[in-house]
Chain A
Amino acid sequence: MGTSVIARRAGLLATLALCVILLALVPKLPPYYVRVADSILIYIILAVGLNLVVGYAGLLDLGFIAFYAVGAYAYAFLASGQFDIHLPFIVILFIGAAAGAIAGVLLGFPVLKLRGDYLAIVTLSFGEIIRIAINNADELTNGPQGIAGLDRASLFGLPLTSPVHFYWLLLALAIIICASVYYMERSILGKAWRALREDQDVVRGLGINTTTLKLLAFALSAAIGGAGGVIFGSFQRFVSPESFTFQESLLVVLIIIIGGVGNIVGVIAGAIVLVVLPEVLHFAAQYRLLIYGIVLVTVIVLRPGGLVSPRFNLSFIIRKVRNLWLSPSKT
């Protein structure tokens, strides 16, 4: 028995070490792969944020990309020649998150009494309104041309210029956000959200203010979207309304569904699959989208609950690891 525990511990350590080494090796890859990794990390951040609303609170938000746009344009306004304001990156990161949260509350406050599909369509409309407004407010946003030449970002004196720099920044942020969301999920707040998802009326009957609860989910997820947008803006150093279409909102929802609703591990898997798939399909040239769509439908039909089983979540993994170390007999 003793040896098998040691073997399993060694196996676990090896797996962990392998993960760390793989993550550390990504920057050594050619720039194209690092860019793909950056893209995956951005979508992980967005999807984990949206998952608070869709997966935990059970509210379908089809206009999530609007908050991303708010963050990206916050960076464009506050760190470019557009208004000749040049604030440091870290300051804008917080401003972007705050702006996202405010936008979330402003949208959420009037509409959260709507249910189900009506809420979905109103958030969708909100996303479209934001995009069209950005597209047409020429004096402010340059309209469809977008704002180019945004400042090179730097963090605590370290420059953020190459995809490799952003890889580390995004990785750190993704880990922080996943960890925070994981703790939120296990807190009383997370339980209240889950109850809300299952039955709003019971939650209300228990004397919990459902509107505040929904608003909180909306604001937090919008803040994460806003922060993601700031990083996107500083990474691209160019923003235009084209990046914030309805299709982008749908892609983030798709990541959550493909991966597994309400499950951080699932969301990570979903982001990897949906970002890598179009890249892999480059060989198919004009057939790329067709194959992409067919794969998508096939995956959903074959695994309607998502690729990752709901049981295989972060707390399951952590429990496994802890048990193996503290009380090996239980595992």
Chain B
Amino acid sequence: MFDYFLQQLIFALAIGAIYGLIALGYTMVYGVMRLINFAHGEFFMLGPYVYTFVFSGLVGLGGLAPMLDSALAIVASFVIIGLLGVTIERFAYRPLRAYGRLAPMLSALGMSIVLQSAVRVTVGPQPVHFPAIVASEPIAALGGMVTTMQLGILAAAILLMVGLTLFVNGTRLGIWIRAASESWTTSSLLGIRVNRAVSLVFFIGPGLGAMAGIMYASYYGIMQPTMGSVIGLKAFTAAILGGIGSIPGAMLGGFLLGAIEVFGTAFLPILSGGLIGTEYRDVFAFAVLILVLLFKPAGLLGETISEETTVAKKDY
């Protein structure tokens, strides 16, 4: 039982790390703009596609060492998709700032359709094989089996999360982002270029989403244009679970959602005597979300919205 538990735990951590990375994009964008960026799942989907494009381009040009090619392609995907995020914000969201919160949200929805169908039209709707970046070899540890892939994903994700935390808490630009999330008007009065902070968030968020997409595709060996929809929705749930707007909350929410899903799937049928099968996995995740919100209406680490903030007063 213990080795089974351990295996499931590693799996939960790996998938949770991926959710967490995507959730970070949702939560940071929400933090500065109070916008549910429905297009965010598509950045996750674009990650492996851009990676493949750049990687095969490098190899086609003669290439360097294989590992170096991969590393370059990963960095390039981050930058390309980050810039795409900045561009989309500039043209599809920024003109809508003065028009409440529904219009940008729906614009994001339209962008999601655009990005997804653009990939479908150019690459094709069918799932494509995605070669593993790190060879997946099983390692026996503490009586259980984990793969190098799982450990690699976990390590890379934690590295990115630590990096982001250091960046947001320790650098000047990070302070801009935090100030803009705190109060738009006050920070602009204090001379912070809020628009730059927003652009920065729209660079980092989609970039992290793309990294998560590469990890996910690498883990399952497959990529397809629709992969962003469901995962994006789940990662958004994770962001809400942790308290939307909160960066540590998104990480926590991601890992928590991973754990709920994996352990729910693994142990629920055993515990309920086969009554509730694995097909209820998503119901379980959503039900936990509703329960958490009923008792902690602002999520686990979210700040309780004070009655005075206009955002809270006027729902939509």
- Please give the distance in Å from A111's CB to the nearest CB on chain B: 7
A304-B315 in contact given A121-B240, A293-B110, A296-B110 (Cβ < 8 Å): no
Nearest A residue to B312 by beta-carbon distance? A115
When chains A and B are docked, how far (Å) is the Cα of A293 from the Cα of B118? 10
A287-B121 in contact given A116-B312, A132-B283 (Cβ < 8 Å): yes
Residues of A within 8 A of B244 (CB): 117-118
The 26 sampled A-B contact pairs (Cβ below 8 Å) are A54-B316, A58-B314, A113-B297, A115-B312, A116-B315, A117-B30, A117-B34, A118-B244, A119-B315, A121-B240, A121-B293, A125-B237, A126-B290, A128-B233, A128-B286, A136-B280, A197-B315, A198-B314, A257-B106, A261-B102, A286-B121, A290-B114, A292-B117, A300-B107, A301-B95, A301-B107
Which chain A residues have a beta carbon within 8 Å of chain B's beta carbons? 54, 58-60, 110-111, 113-122, 124-126, 128-129, 132-133, 135-136, 197-201, 246, 250, 253-254, 257-258, 261, 286-290, 292-294, 296-297, 300-301, 304-305
| CB <8 Å contact, B305 and A246 | no
Which chain B residues have a beta carbon within 8 Å of chain A's beta carbons? 30, 34, 36, 38, 91-92, 95-96, 98-99, 102-103, 106-107, 109-114, 116-118, 120-121, 233, 236-237, 240, 244, 277, 279-280, 282-283, 286-287, 289-290, 293-294, 297-299, 305, 307, 311-316
- Please give the distance in Å from B101's CB to the nearest CB on chain A: 8
Residues of B within 8 A of A126 (CB): 286, 290
Q: How many contacts A-B (CB < 8 Å)?
A: 146
A129-B113 in contact given A120-B36, A122-B293, A304-B96 (Cβ < 8 Å): no
| CB <8 Å contact, B282 and A132 | yes
Residues of B within 8 A of A294 (CB): 110, 114
| CB <8 Å contact, A297 and B311 | no
When chains A and B are docked, how far (Å) is the Cα of A125 from the Cα of B293? 12
Residues of A within 8 A of B287 (CB): 125, 129
When chains A and B are docked, how far (Å) is the Cα of A122 from the Cα of B237? 9
Most buried by A among B110, B117, B282, B298: B110
- Please give the distance in Å from B234's CB to the nearest CB on chain A: 10
Nearest A residue to B299 by beta-carbon distance? A118
Other-chain residue from B110, B117, B313 in contact with A300 (beta carbon distance below 8 A)? B110
Nearest B residue to A59 by beta-carbon distance? B315
| CB <8 Å contact, A121 and B314 | no
When chains A and B are docked, how far (Å) is the Cα of A120 from the Cα of B99? 19
A121-B236 in contact given A197-B315, A201-B307, A301-B95 (Cβ < 8 Å): yes
When chains A and B are docked, how far (Å) is the Cα of A132 from the Cα of B230? 13
Most buried by A among B91, B96, B279, B287: B279
| CB <8 Å contact, B316 and A59 | yes
Residues of A within 8 A of B112 (CB): 293
| CB <8 Å contact, B95 and A292 | no
Q: A115-B312, A125-B290, A304-B99 are in contact. List 15 more A-B contacts (CB 8 A).
A: A116-B305, A117-B244, A118-B240, A118-B293, A118-B298, A121-B289, A125-B287, A125-B289, A129-B287, A197-B314, A250-B38, A261-B102, A293-B114, A300-B106, A301-B96
